[in-house]
Amino acid sequence: MRHLTRIAGLGLTVVCLSMTVTAQPSDGAGTIIPLYPDGAPTSLGVPEIRGVDPMNGGLLIRNVSEPTLELFRPAAGHANGTTVIVVPGGGFVGLSYEAVGTAVARRLVEHGVTAFVLKHRTIRSGPDLMPMPEVHADEMAALVERIQTGLPVEIPPFAGEAHAVEDGARAMRIVRERAEEWGVDPERVGIVGFSSGAFLAADLAIGDTPTRPDFVALLYGGLRTPVPADASPAFIAGAADDEMLPHDPVQLYTAWRKAGADAELHVYEHGGHGFDLAPRGTTSDQWFDGLVLWMRSRDLVE
């Protein structure tokens, strides 16, 4: 939920999967896989908008109607079979596609992980960042009120969350269906989600087994229930000075452990909402190293 001024951030059929067409984007960064080659189930009816993320200077994508996966592969001979789908934050309004998307995918590739960045559907917004969509403004106001009124309760689903989760589930199916093609293990497919992307990851981690990730990393996200005993093992991280979700990492960890599911928790004293790979001079700078250590402990990386 990276607020965009501090705004927004909280951002099948086998036949279709086998017919998915790939195309090389103009920047040559990775292969693009459409989630719905024949068109997504719904469309916003407006063009996709690509601009500069005011929070980090990277690419911000809004008004997404045609969701995709972008593939990043380790050098030949260095892949270890583990796959991670990276889900950027943006409040289901936009996607901070570079800072907590492609940049994270490239770092994972350095550890032999085959990575994908999910560009999921978003809600509709205007041509400019402000004013934010009214429904999202109301959601942000509710989060502020939630902090001010005491202990947090579970946050209701966000506008756009259902479609985004549908895209996340389809992405899981596609990666597992095409695992042999990409040289990955279909039983070692995880999701790393940031802010709204972490809510999406949590939804899948407690959801239907066929699309449940084999592991998840939930970065400054929040709880989704009920958490089953066989929920995906979770790496959970956030900051105590998060202006939107200060208590939620502990709430997530508590729910996971109460259910008997595996989880590891990191709460940094400083870092705010939306820390990424850019150094901030706080202990939250260590989140990626912590994630790699956790993955190594589970034999997901060497």
DSSP annotation string for 43-100: --SS--EEEE-TTTSSEEEES--S-EEEEE-PPTT---S-EEEEE--SBTTEEETIII
Q: Average pLDDT for consecutive 10-residue bins of the chain (302 residues)?
A: 42 28 42 94 93 94 98 95 98 98 98 98 94 95 90 91 98 98 97 98 97 98 98 98 96 98 98 97 98 98 94
| CA-angle at 259, arms to 258 and 262, nearest 5° | 90
Do the domain assignments include residue 3?
no
Q: How far apart are the C-alpha atoms of 297 and 301, rounded to whole Å? A: 8
Do the domain assignments include residue 7?
no
Range of the domain at 29: 14-297
Do the domain assignments include residue 38?
yes
Q: How far apart are the C-alpha atoms of 131 and 125, rounded to whole Å? A: 9
Task: Please report the pLDDT score of residue 176 as a whole number.
Answer: 98
Domain tally, the chain: 1
Q: How far apart are the C-alpha atoms of 46 and 44, rounded to whole Å? A: 6
Q: How far apart are the C-alpha atoms of 255 and 216, rounded to whole Å? A: 15
Name residue 193's beta-bridge partners.
Answer: 87, 218
Name residue 49's beta-bridge partners.
Answer: 62
SS3 194: strand
Q: How far apart are the C-alpha atoms of 165 and 154, rounded to whole Å? A: 17
196 Cβ neighbours under 8 A, 6+ residues apart? 1, 9, 10, 11, 89, 90, 91, 92, 158, 161, 164, 221
Task: Please report the pLDDT score of residue 11 as a whole number.
Answer: 39
The enclosing domain of 96 has a CATH number of 3.40.50.1820
Q: Is 57 left (phi over 0), alpha (psi -120 to 50) or beta?
A: left
Q: How far apart are the C-alpha atoms of 20 and 149, rounded to whole Å? A: 48
SS3 144: helix
Do the domain assignments include residue 258?
yes
Do the domain assignments include residue 4?
no
223 burial type by CB count under 10 A (0-12 exposed, 13-18 middle, 19+ buried): buried
Task: Please report the pLDDT score of residue 13 as a whole number.
Answer: 23
Task: Please report the pLDDT score of residue 10 as a whole number.
Answer: 57
Question: CA–CA distance from 14 to each of 19, 26, 67, 115, 232 (Å)?
Answer: 9, 29, 18, 22, 24
